[in-house]
Structure 1
């Protein structure tokens, strides 16, 4: 059974909402000129009571407003019951909402207000602010769009080429583009009128064709139709495979056959129909099929000219009365270093990823094609920094194969544009300041956590150096979570509309699972949530909360991006194309410079037996460095003014995040180094510490245990003894933790952590032959292979869930690292599965190890895993059915039954509203905060299971971006590591 993804970059826990001591929101200045616009929406409750919820989005178009009152008349006999984000009252039918002091509105800013009422009789006609009638903002009228052709319900015959023509206009601006969608997935766009797009080669079925007009203010309008494509009744020409690689100066072939037995002879003709002229048909351009051989493939042979490497061409095999088949051929360089079959599979997977709805209209990779998916992100069309890093790695492999490096550069540019916060997103980053301590707690119900300025924090050893090197106080690192389509409605810094939008979730301790989070904006302007936005769900500030921004970095994603840049540079250099990616590689070096924040304790306290928040000494210099890639680093500051900022590292270190390859790359590749004077020294020490960490945590059977923390419980607590009463072992004075960072589920249960980290170690071994990495993998590989079964026809089972017992011995810093053993540390595989992303990473681990050591059994198993994966291919990639028992938690309520910690915890008396209008109050469920799931086509099976109407868990076939991209990477790796397989 496939398991829920167990990785999740946690936010900075309580620290994500830290504010500087004594600083509060800056009051504005009163102005007289009032101009405004109001959007109103009402949602009737549907229970026959006449109750309804109203949402009012007020946009200030005039001078800044410190003191404002919005008023309007409720139609009929409607009555106000309660409201939020303003002080509400009703006199007759006139309702007024007085903005509180924290909700001042600068020019262009919005306030989102809400209320509950009874007796709904329609929407108000007019709205007034301070007595001035609000009108349409001349710059915010939404565009209009409609599909001119084809008509709704139009019918076509397969294979159908359908051109969609759209008409779009904007009353007060310009149309930036019209996007065209096929069954909800972006297919392309057009930036000039008349707007049109061709959907090619549609097979039999029902299709929803959609369009979305986007104006120059990022406002949108949509239209859609449904068409039917009927089977033409003709038999098909079949071409296998549909992607072929041809080494320049040589030939390759694909097979052609028919789907039905013909009455007489059928002639299939193959022609070059598009693409590079350096590839052409040399044999089999005319083939004859009869009733005796119609289903026996005959070869079409293609040849690639010398010097044609990098070209791509399409060939069509056609016959009278038959549906034709197309094949894409790619010319490869004649370097004797690649297996064309696996290159073909890489290209096949690569094309599917780029053509199947994995990317948004902005070019951002979604977490998955499917929307109903709950794991680290709680919605499929949000995304993570992990997805970006795997995308970069895939584009690096594409550049290696095709010598086209523009997609790699474009992927990095998209990452920089959308998930690395820019200057506007971190406006006060250059202002010096320290974080204020807030303890982490075991349960969400123990939050908010009190800020305590009496707890000493250490000095930041990097801030001055980084600012001197880069000339800015801003940080160049990815925030881990992005609401790509602005589903939660926060927009950019409270504007409510901008997409994508920076959001965050996990901030309340090790037991807060994805089922218990409250998604909230990373730019906290108090436009949403309660009186202090969402801050007082996480921290208790004696001085009151202050508007602010804050971001959290997942270090393993940034390290993976650096790793991808290293390989891109290596391969481009071999081609003589180093200059093509020089600028991108320099950006990767900058990312690696800031990534060093993850190498330090959360509050820069000294490393080693750090017990007692007050007693544990503040660090200076490198005394606060543990030199491991910890679970996060975070940074934040005041908004909108330049008042204060803060930065923190993390005390929690999971082995699964470690990346010796990226450390090696930054130590040994000058192009991946910056001018920061301590850059190389820090990464040299990190590389050494990482290899020791593996050796310390390796069980007697070979699997790697969890990690270590410098802050037990997240509050520098007294560490718990082991189950047998023995003292908790340490690594450089940091305490062993079976499941660092989170416990629901345990962070080292998921086998994916094993292969994510050790794949990097295997690459490192391949390059260096380091005996420490060799020993780790020599022990790990036989264990993993012994727990793996591969059958026929795509049947395979790999470890899924691990159960740990015992403990490692305390690390001897002065001893021989290769002599360290852990006889008291054991692991059991309690469940196996077919997680396709984990299987790809596992196969990559085995193949890099095999390439480094010559282990033929590891090579064979890696190939067999890839063959098994390939059997599960579909039109969007590679997927297997997954059963999701955890979806029973959609309807969990906190403390129901009494004493239960499951469900979303909201403190008694706390009330607020999310950007999409969802009410937040005690007793809400996961689904209550995400009612958009009620419109998802897959929701019924989930609700039937969660409500107990059925005992059968819902099943899905998921296409996660990171998993599909790593499958492509696995195909490319095998093609290059074993060209003569």
Structure 2
């Protein structure tokens, strides 16, 4: 066992002098798991928020995403470390299998790795890992979480596990996709579409050749976080009590390699031209980074087809050195496919290089890289070519532009660098995380009462290696603060940096002393964005119209609210309506499941690291 991990366990055998942060962890954990706190559905699925009237990464508070499921696994792993009870950890992974890894994957046996998915006017390469995954697991189905779930089936599609559009009466979480356009322009669509709802051809927005089909998408950072949590559980638990769950984490790590590949399995690096940049027959289509997404799907008819794709966009905030390290080095979660460990070994090195490439002169990380300039394999300006990373182009707005300025991604990913440094004492990781830590400590302030202010939003200027970062807004965020505290805790434990430890402790104390509620840790937030309830929808196909299961009409006159008429039944809707009528901006407390879990994990880790 690694010396650093032995240090982490020393609290079990030392005389405990203080258990403040253990007790705080348990109090927070008990609040989260208390049914009256409303973090979980009747089926035990974690909601995005305990409150319903929330529109952000999901368009309704009681939808959920793979992020919440991964945090549930992480929360329960730390609970096991502190109490010795790992059954909740096992149950949390069972929930992933029960509700987030799709069972409806019709025609998956007809997937052709030599033609993983055609695209009009684009050369497409071959899938080089399908056969070894089939050999290792004897399945043609993808073992990855779909990212979005309508937990209470409020949209009424009824895409519950293994079924397609059973309708509003279906009991259980329903898979959905977020519509095209921005969050406020989009409208949810069913993952499996047999033309029961929507328009004549369901929710198909292509002209001609509409087919009854299904499609899923993954946010790979969540799957990587679940694997990261499983790795820590493998270090904290008696392996026999969690062995079946660790096997599942290893399998997910195997399939997570689809995140390494270009969207169309085209050459990774210097890929210019939809036709000119070639598809490959081998792993030359792999950039070996945790990209923005994985997609897969197929048709519903007999003897149909199925397809898979990776992603060309790689963001600093999604990288996970700990997941890579665990899949390589921990036998209990080592994937079985022939080249998986080799691939993750390359990925670990490539991720470190990406952090070095994207780290600004101040210490923060900047944006990401893409293998497909302008999302069309276009020819980038020369200055971007000169600043390329393995032939990939620096991208100011990888993925969703609205997410990129958010400071929380900085804390999330820096935490994983700090954990990796703690585990390995890797010198490159030390330099990366020290520079980041020095920067963030200089940006955090505490008032006379001990409450905190941290960066909220940032922006970048310039190209690597001369990229600079500017903090554009400061404020308070529960999850960003707790993730920053955990980052500083791991760095302090590994390096002996007393300032980092003090700031970590002060952040955790501020959260506890100033923001504790009956449900957990929270802030009262303003929601001026609710003017967008009247925002017109983006319709991907001209003159398309359709109908939701509840009768809400989707057409050129539709708004965000008009196709979500059930929002008007929300117990807090009156304050939104008052705002839309010219009244005050709505303000209320929000308890995001991921933030509540992040706080708990930070408290538990601080206790384990420092025995306080």
TM range (shorter): over 0.9
Matched, 1:825 2:473: no
Q: What is aligned with 1:67?
A: none
Which residue of the other structure, out of 253, 261, 266, is the alignment partner of 1:605?
A: 266
1:935 maps to what in 2?
A: 569
Alignment of 1:119-268 (within 5 A): none
Higher relative contact order (CA 8 A, sep 6+): 2
Indicate which of 20, 30, 43 corresponds to 1:351.
Answer: 30
1:510-550: CA deviation from partner (whole Å, max 9, x where unpaired): xx2211111010011111111221121xxx254x1111111
Q: CA RMSD in A?
A: 1.6
**Partner residue in 1 for 2:143:** 476
Distance (Å, rounded) in 2 between the aligned partners of 1:437 and 1:861? 52
Query: Which position in structure 2 is the counterpart of 1:565?
Result: 230
Q: 1:627 aligns with which of 280, 288, 293?
A: 288
Per the alignment, residue 404 of structure 2 pairs with 748
Select the residue among 297, 303, 311 that pairs with 1:650.
311
Q: TM-score, normalised by structure 2?
A: 0.94
- The residue correspondences of 1:77-96 to structure 2 (distance < 5 A) are none
1:339–1:975 contact (8 Å) kept in structure 2: no
Find the counterpart in structure 1 of residue 600 from structure 2: 968
What is the distance in 1 between the residues matched to 2:438 and 2:303?
A: 56
- Indicate which of 458, 462, 486 corresponds to 1:802: 458
CA-to-partner distance for each residue in 1:586-606, whole Å, 9 max, x for gaps? Answer: 010001000000011000000
Question: 1:727 Cα deviation (Å)?
Answer: 5.1
Contact 2:552–2:563 under 8 Å retained in 1: yes
Q: Distance in 1 between matches of 2:86 and 2:57?
A: 31
The whole-number CA distance in structure 2 between the counterparts of 1:885 and 1:592 is 40
Following superposition, the deviation at residue 635 of structure 1 comes to 0.9
- Structure-2 separation of matches of 1:721 and 1:520: 40
- Which of 525, 540, 555 is equivalent to 2:194? 525
Give the alignment of 1:917-956 within 5 angstroms.
917-947=551-581, 949-950=582-583, 952-956=584-588
Q: What TM-score results when the alignment is normalised by the length of structure 1?
A: 0.59
Q: What displacement does 1:843 show?
A: 0.6
Report which of the two structures shows the higher radius of gyration computed on alpha carbons: 1
1:534 maps onto 2:534 in alignment = no
Q: Cα–Cα, structure 1 residues 648 and 770, in superposed 2: closer, same or farther, change >3 Å?
A: same
Q: Which consecutive unaligned segments of at least 5 residues does structure 2 have?
A: 1-10
Partners of 1:939 and 1:906 lie apart in 2 by: 29
Aligned partners of 2:447 and 2:13: how far apart in 1? 35
Q: Distance in 2 between matches of 1:706 and 1:761?
A: 16
Measure the CA separation in 1 of the matches of 2:382 and 2:410.
26
Provide structure 1 residue ranges, at least 5 long, that are not aligned to the other structure: 1-331, 439-451, 809-821, 894-902
The aligned counterpart of 1:578 is 239
Other structure's SS at 2:423 match: helix
CA offset digits 1:861-890 (Å, max 9, x no partner): 000000000021111001011112222211
Out of 530, 552, 556, the residue aligned to residue 887 of structure 1 is: 530
> 1:338–1:975: 8 Å Cα contact kept in structure 2?
no
Secondary structure, in 3 states, of the residue corresponding to 2:78? helix
Partner SS, residue 623 of structure 1: helix
Indicate conservation of the 8 Å contact 1:527/1:533, yes or no: yes
Deviation per CA, 1:553-598: give whole Å up to 9, x if none: 11111111111011111011xxxx2101001000100010000000
Distance 1:946 1:830 in 2: 28
Of 348, 357, 377, 1:696 maps to 357
Alpha-carbon spacing, 1:340–1:642, altered in 2? closer, same or farther (3 Å)? farther
Report the alpha carbon displacement of residue 923 of structure 1 after superposing the two structures with TM: 2.1
Residue 60 of structure 2 aligns with which residue? 379
1:793 Cα deviation (Å)? 3.9
| Greater strand content | 1
Task: Tell me the residue number matched to 1:904.
Answer: 538
Corresponding residue of 2:101: 420
Q: Distance in 2 between matches of 1:609 and 1:338?
A: 58
C-alpha contact 2:66 2:146 (8 A) present in aligned 1: yes
**CA contact under 8 A between 2:385 and 2:391: conserved in structure 1?**
no
- CA distance in 1 between counterparts of 2:16 and 2:263 reads 46
Distance 1:718 1:886 in 2: 36
- C-alpha separation between the residues in 2 aligned to 1:516 and 1:470? 40
Counterpart in the other structure of 1:712: 373
Preserved contact between residue 490 and residue 916 of structure 1 (Cα < 8 Å): no
Larger helix proportion of the pair = 2
Asked whether 1:456 is paired with 2:123, we answer: yes
Distance 2:255 2:434 in 1: 33
Pair 1:349–1:674, CA change in 2 (3 A): same
Residues 923 and 969 of structure 1: CA distance in aligned 2, closer, same or farther (over 3 Å): same
Matching residue within 839, 843, 866 for 2:485:
843
Paired residue for 1:83?
Answer: none
Q: Give the structure 2 partner of residue 238 of structure 1.
A: none
Distance in 2, matches of 1:681 and 1:906, equals: 41
